[in-house]
Amino acid sequence: MTTPPEAEPSATPPASAEKRQDQSRLHSFGIVLRESFLEGNTFTVTVLALLTATVIGGLLCAFTNSTVLNAPNAGSMIARAWDVASGTYVALFEGSVFNPHTVAALFQQASLPTAIHDGYLSAVFGPLSETAVQATPLILTGLAVALPFQAGLFNIGGQGQFIGGAIMAAWLGYYLSLPFFVHVVVCVIGGFAGGAVIGWLTGEIKARTGAHEVIVTIMLNYVMLYLLAYLLASQSLLQAPGSSNSITPAIASNAHLPLLAGTSLRINAGFLLAIACAFAIWWLLNRTTTGFEFRSVGANASAARVAGIKVERSWVLAMLIAGGLAGLAGSAVIQGTDFTLNPQSFGTYGIDAITVALLGLGRPWGVVWAGLLFGALHAGSPGMQTVTSTPVQIVQVLQALIVLFVAAPPLIRAMFRLRAVRAGGVGAATSKGWNT
């Protein structure tokens, strides 16, 4: 699993300072943020945001490239810039969706049986498989942010919940010895439970004491981070026997998530699990009484309370399910691709999850698309570096740009001179304000 090295969670400000921050301000910040994503957005704006980010990202690639900067004259500079930018995106595409060179190689094989035997056919789908593998934990953690969003909560705790799930999945994976399918299911359930406990704890603390979930989840991220480090450094606990590295033993092969397309592709049942979860969350939110409660609490907690909805219970339940989803992401990584747990296993999923959820407008299917897009960016970035020597970090810049533009619909609207989306237009909203 490739995880860009410098996006360590320690980039977040010191925990103790965070604690003193004004709760109500944080709260209203959360609401504004949520509203700007959930309500002030449209499909068009999102597409335009992606487009704008792509253009600016291309310019960045081009004008940080030494061959472009050292161009002898303006004309060749533009030509080289175009080459670098387009080369970068082509490489991204080839690494994440479809690589024509592999296909060409396939057709040069004399016969189809040879091609299959040599693994070319599966290689054709290699990029897509890689995108799906990268997208799996992003979708699951993205859902873990999107669901509480709908219930009015801002879940920053994807990382801690992911770790909770990964610990359970890894431990059950190597400690137990069960038949194939049973072992997979036990580990997946364990992963869900491991994350759910952490999520539930957050919800329970908020419901009982009113502590803001943003602070609680950030704190729990640290708790889980150091708990993991401790567990992995203790021989009597999770550390592989006889190892001096912080790593668990490999999980039993019976606990591996089944591969979906043969041994040469990494795509596994985890991806199906993620899609199934997205469906389940969509169904939960839109078709069930529980989802109705979540959405009421999220959209107007006091009206929900007056309508007899137990707001605190909704918080707890939403956080519990969200924690479980992030835990499943941990399980998918451990059981699907990594097979051991180390202190880097959680990668940057906790933070990426927020961006995925934002890009997905807080809706389950939106999260799937956003997860696939970011998965593709991750899958394509190594190839991009080798082909055009664009640093992999540019992918993160690209992600940041996408989120920036998605997060600021008025900016995109102003750039493309779009009308506001609210019913009745700006005028109605304003005049209503003046007359009440």
Partner 1 sequence: MELELRGITKRFGPLVANDGISLSVAPGQVHALLGENGAGKSTLMNVLYGLMQPDEGEILIDGTPVSFHSPKDAIAAGIGMVHQHFMLVPVFTVAENVTLGIEQAGRAGLLDRRGTRREVAGLSHRLGLDVDPDALVEDLPVGIQQRVEIIKALVRQANVLILDEPTAVLTPAETDELFRIVRQLRDGGTSVIFISHKLKEVQSIADTITVLRRGAVVGQREPSATEADLASLMVGRNVQLRVSKSPAKPGAPVLTVTDLTVRGDDGRTWVDGLSFDVRAGEILGIAGVQGNGQTELCEALMGLRPTADGKVTLNDKDLTRAAPRERLRAGVAYVPEDRTEDGLVGSFSVAENLILDMYDRKQFSSGINLKLPEIAKNATERIAEFDVRTGSAATPAGTLSGGNQQKVILAREIGREHKVLIASQPTRGLDVGSIEFVHRRIVEQRDHGVAVVIVSSELDEIYALADRIAVMYEGKITGFRDPDVPTAELGRLMAGGTDAVPSAAAQPQAGPATPEVRAAPDAGTPGTPDEGKGA
Which residues bind to partner 1, rule: CB under 8 A?
39, 287-290, 292-293, 295-296, 299-300, 302-310, 422-428, 430-432, 434-436
Distance CA 323, CA 271 (A): 18
Distance CA 172, CA 251 (A): 8
Shortest distance, CB of residue 282 to partner 1, whole angstroms?
Answer: 13
Alpha carbon separation from 136 to 125, 193, 421 (Å, rounded): 17, 18, 32
Distance CA 309, CA 296 (A): 8
Q: Which two tokens stand for residue 102?
A: 């592999």
Shortest distance, CB of residue 332 to partner 1, whole angstroms?
Answer: 26
CA atoms within 13 A on the CB side of 184: 16
Shortest distance, CB of residue 70 to partner 1, whole angstroms?
Answer: 52
Closest CB to partner 1 among residues 83, 312: 312
Q: Which of 297, 307, 351 is closest to 145 using CA atoms?
A: 351
Closest CB to partner 1 among residues 185, 307: 307
Shortest distance, CB of residue 362 to partner 1, whole angstroms?
Answer: 12
Closest CB to partner 1 among residues 27, 227: 27
Closest CB to partner 1 among residues 209, 289: 289
* φ, ψ at 113 (rounded to 5°): -55, -40
Alpha carbon separation from 11 to 34, 135, 161, 208 (Å, rounded): 23, 23, 19, 30
Shortest distance, CB of residue 436 to partner 1, whole angstroms?
Answer: 7
- Inter-helix orientation angle 311-333/289-299, to 10°: 110
Shortest distance, CB of residue 12 to partner 1, whole angstroms?
Answer: 31
Closest CB to partner 1 among residues 165, 291: 291
Q: Which two tokens stand for residue 34?
A: 């949520």
Distance CA 297, CA 309 (A): 8
DSSP string over 130-191: HHHHHHHHHHHHHHHHHHHHHTT----THHHHHHHHHHHHHHHHHH----HHHHHHHHHHHH
Closest CB to partner 1 among residues 179, 427: 427
CB-neighbour burial class of residue 420 (10 A; exposed 0-12, middle 13-18, buried 19+): middle
Shortest distance, CB of residue 20 to partner 1, whole angstroms?
Answer: 22
Shortest distance, CB of residue 315 to partner 1, whole angstroms?
Answer: 16
Closest CB to partner 1 among residues 236, 436: 436
Distance CA 308, CA 432 (A): 30
Closest CB to partner 1 among residues 179, 210: 210
Shortest distance, CB of residue 87 to partner 1, whole angstroms?
Answer: 45
Closest CB to partner 1 among residues 19, 422: 422
